[in-house]
Structure 1
Amino acid sequence: MEFTVTHKGTPYQISLPSETTLSALHEHLEELTSVPSDHQKLLYKGKKASVKADRTLPEAGITSGMKIQMLGPSSEELASMRGAEDEKRRVERIKQERAAKAQTKVRTPGSSTVSNHPSYRFHRIEPLAHLPNSSAARQYLMRLAEDAAILHVMQKHNFSVGLLTELAPHEHPNLLGLNTNAGQSIRLRIRTNAYDGFRPYMDVRRVLCHELTHNVWSDHDNNFKELNSQLNREVAQYERSVKDGTHTLSGGTQGDVYEPSTQLEAEAQEYVLGGGAHVLVPSSSASEDESREERRRRILEATMNRLKKEEEELEQSCGSAGPSALN
């Protein structure tokens, strides 16, 4: 097979056996252009909606005589961009540290304080314009961005997110959330698969806490689990303090406090979400003469196990750890 691939105005005449796979073509192009395989994007007519790397060139829709346009930065350009981004973050960090001296303090439960700083928030909210009912999607995203408990943990941990937007279920069916470049953007699956409504708010907010953890840790290792557990615990503690009338956060939405269905649910959230270290000794199966404390322990244990399983499933549906699922 012979075809032409053009990158930044330079044409490359390609001649490969028809049984060549798409991944082998990417490796060949990397040798020619110095553009890493995972950063190459090929544009051509007849391209299938989802082309797997192990497909042969004809199976991927490539034919002899075809003209293909390739997009992607070279290794040198990537290094330069990363250097510029690192410098930008360094300057921003210095600015934030200098501004911290003048920021307002508000009291939190106990003796700690949290900085009410305008940088630690979601700076832009954008629903996907090509999806139906974008106005309702914007309201949903705004509710997340103005959630007082979420703002509380963002202020406490100095989290800044450039863009909060959504994931289209049909475009990324295996993802519930994605954090790009440690907070440059966070994308969340807020719609149902059938586009007939929106997913439960508390489910999406748990995904948001998970993705905020990726502002600090990229992989789902023990460091990640510890911080994710801490964020979920702080959200639960904050909302309990608001309910008890002991805490407010200027700039946050008041009166929109999540109340767990039971006190046991709240305890399980504090100790389990994200891999907390709280351990229960398994109790015997329920019986008619089961004591109140034994029943409480059994229900709490079952609730904790359920939340652990849900968190494991969330990790499997997160595109933020390892290679981006959107590449």
Structure 2
Amino acid sequence: MNLTVSHRGQSYPLSLLPNDTLAVLQAKLEELTSTPPPLQKLLYKGKSSKPQDDQISLTQAGLKDGMKIQLIGTTLQELDGIKTVESEVQKRERIMRERAAKAPSKLRSTGLSQSSDLNYRFHKLIPLPHLPEPSSALSLLQRLSDDPAIRHIMNKHKFSVGVLTELAPHEHPELLGLNENAGQQIKLRLRTNRYDGFRTYKEVRRVLCHELTHNVWGDHDNNFKELNSLLNREVAEYESSVRAGTNVLGYSGEVYEPSAQLEADSYSRVLGSVSGSAALLQGDSEDRRRRVLEAAERRLRTEEEEMEDSCGTAGRSALADEN
């Protein structure tokens, strides 16, 4: 089986047996690119979106003779360049967490003990200064913190987060987000796998909504799924109300009812087709609204299932701690 792997603008021809495992391929790629297997991400046609067992054969993984593969990952040389600084940063974070744990008054993540809406926010934004463009990372964190839809759900659900920061390179490289101690600190994967740019804002914000749900529920159970779906709906409805120029959803429980055209636009975005919009415009308003919501919820469920695989938060919930 002849394969061509591209990495950082360079191509590597490989010849392997169809029964060779993915581990064999990853080992060869490590020799060629100095990228360790845990940090390798292989992109090719037919690849499953789920992490694959490295002991399955190349054929079972969907690889075929003549196939081209793109390798994304950080090299050992790059890793060595930031390990020392990153270790120091993590050490300081650990010391700060220990000090916070010993403090007489500890921040409650759900905000139940706070009396003012001003406390339902991110109290500190911290980019990683040893990574490229820390000012850009801070701008992204600030945009998330100032996002009107995010502020809306934080006030409505009384969420308070001590620190909003980013996941360091190679700190749980398989994760997109992490919520520590039910809101004491939320870490988000802001950068691309190569750390040469930043992920899209909407992608990072959806991860943030996922991690905010962990302020209340620790594990990915039905309680978590219900609240997480609610947060995403409230963000979408809030922004839809702003775009439509109608009453912005406040904290009084107002219900936003989208127009037929806005529903059609939403349906088109969900299905990715103009014909879907035309079909949506048929029937009464209640039927249109139902179809929009069903299509959106199906898409969100699929995205959430993938996101749960990239979330490192689990354990006791904030509500359990309150009791």
TM-score scaled to structure 2, two decimals?
0.52
Aligned counterparts, 1:184-263, within 5 A = 184-243=184-243, 244-247=245-248, 262-263=265-266
- Per the alignment, residue 146 of structure 1 pairs with 146
Aligned partner of 1:315 among 308, 312, 322: 308
Aligned counterparts, 1:251-290, within 5 A = 262-264=265-267
- Per the alignment, residue 172 of structure 1 pairs with 172
**Separation in 1 of the partners of 2:199 and 2:101?**
39
Residue 124 of structure 1, CA deviation = 0.4
Aligned counterparts, 1:5-20, within 5 A = none
Aligned residue for 1:237, secondary structure, equals helix
- Change in Cα spacing, 1:176 to 1:261, as seen in structure 2 (3 Å) is farther
| Preserved contact between residue 170 and residue 193 of structure 1 (Cα < 8 Å) | no
**Separation in 2 of the partners of 1:223 and 1:161?**
20
Q: Deviations over 1:69-121 (max 9, x none)?
A: xxxxxxxxxxx99996897457x96752xx3xxx5xxxxxxxxxxxxx11000
**Separation in 1 of the partners of 2:118 and 2:186?**
18
Residue 322 of structure 1, CA deviation = 4.1
- Change in Cα spacing, 1:149 to 1:301, as seen in structure 2 (3 Å) is closer
Read off the aligned partner of 2:266 and give its amino acid letter.
Q
| Preserved contact between residue 168 and residue 191 of structure 1 (Cα < 8 Å) | no
**Separation in 1 of the partners of 2:126 and 2:99?**
25
Q: Deviations over 1:29-63 (max 9, x none)?
A: xxxxxxxxxxxxxxxxxxxxx9xxxxxxxxxxxxx
- Change in Cα spacing, 1:130 to 1:233, as seen in structure 2 (3 Å) is same
The structure with the larger Rg is: 1
- Change in Cα spacing, 1:261 to 1:128, as seen in structure 2 (3 Å) is farther
**Separation in 2 of the partners of 1:291 and 1:153?**
29
- Per the alignment, residue 131 of structure 2 pairs with 131
More displaced 10-residue stretch of structure 1: 167-176 or 302-311? 302-311
Aligned residue for 1:154, secondary structure, equals helix
Aligned counterparts, 1:90-101, within 5 A = 95-96=113-114, 99=115
- Change in Cα spacing, 1:224 to 1:160, as seen in structure 2 (3 Å) is same
Question: Where does the alignment leave 5 or more consecutive residues of structure 1 unmatched?
Answer: 1-49, 51-79, 104-116, 250-258, 269-285
Question: Where does the alignment leave 5 or more consecutive residues of structure 2 unmatched?
Answer: 1-37, 39-97, 251-261, 317-323
**Separation in 2 of the partners of 1:233 and 1:86?**
37
Read off the aligned partner of 1:263 and give its amino acid letter.
S
Residue 170 of structure 1, CA deviation = 3.3
- Which of the pair is proportionally richer in helix? 2
Identity %: 57
Read off the aligned partner of 2:167 and give its amino acid letter.
L
Taking only aligned residues, the RMSD between alpha carbons, in angstroms, comes to 4.2
Read off the aligned partner of 1:247 and give its amino acid letter.
V
- Change in Cα spacing, 1:225 to 1:299, as seen in structure 2 (3 Å) is closer
**Separation in 1 of the partners of 2:229 and 2:104?**
28
TM-score scaled to structure 1, two decimals?
0.52
